[in-house]
Amino acid sequence: MTDKKKIPETTWVYSDAVKDHFFNPRNFMSDKDEKKYKEDGLGYVGSPECGDMMKIWIKVDKEKEIIKDIKWSTFGCASAIASTSMMSEMVKGMKLSEALKITPHDIMKKLGGLPKIKVHCSVLGDKALRSAINDYYKRNDQEDKIIKEKKQIVCTCLNVSDHDIEEAVLEGAYTFEKVQHKTKVGTGCGRCIPRVKKLIKMYKEKHFGED
């Protein structure tokens, strides 16, 4: 006899905080407001053609370099909406240098967690925020403050870098097999595989607080 009380494995259980931020998103940019909003920095990631897309506007107190206002819009799912809503509340009033340190793990902790299959959705707002802050620095001749990531080639056969692997993990590839499917890393000579596995573990812990 089937236990009717058993929750199917495909059921996603969301926290009250996730539901609240999804149904009542904070700092959302309406089409009407966008036309008259004068931002100091604008950032976006993704594209509507490929699926999820996130766009973020920020206003900055230039003397204190504090985010005094933030707006966002997205074509993303419920988890992306809730994550970005929460993130926007977290960084308002925060120094730019501190806001750049916000990670998907920080956002998920505030939300009380996300279903594993939806964890990567917390990345969209985080990445778009960094893009908006970097845009602010560019507009104000402070490009020296932009942290430029240095790439290292991990798989010389396929020219796959550590940055490519990190991006794959951020987009939801949590196992070597999934990262390999996404990047083709290790499909040549295979000598890079041990290092790739270590990088995957490191990036999971860095961004999502799990090994």
Give the residue numbers marked as catalytic.
50, 121
User: Within 10 Å of residue 211's Cβ, how many Cβ atoms?
Assistant: 8
**φ and ψ at 147, to 5 degrees?**
-85, 110
Tokens of 122: 């917390």
Q: Is 161 helix (H, G, I), strand (E, B) or coil?
A: strand
CA distance 137 to 143: 6
Strands (E) in the chain, as ranges, are 41-46, 53-61, 66-74, 153-155, 160-161
Nearest Cα to 42, choosing from 57, 52, 62?
A: 57
CA distance 44 to 98: 19
Q: Judge whether 60 and 41 are in contact, CB under 8 Å.
A: yes
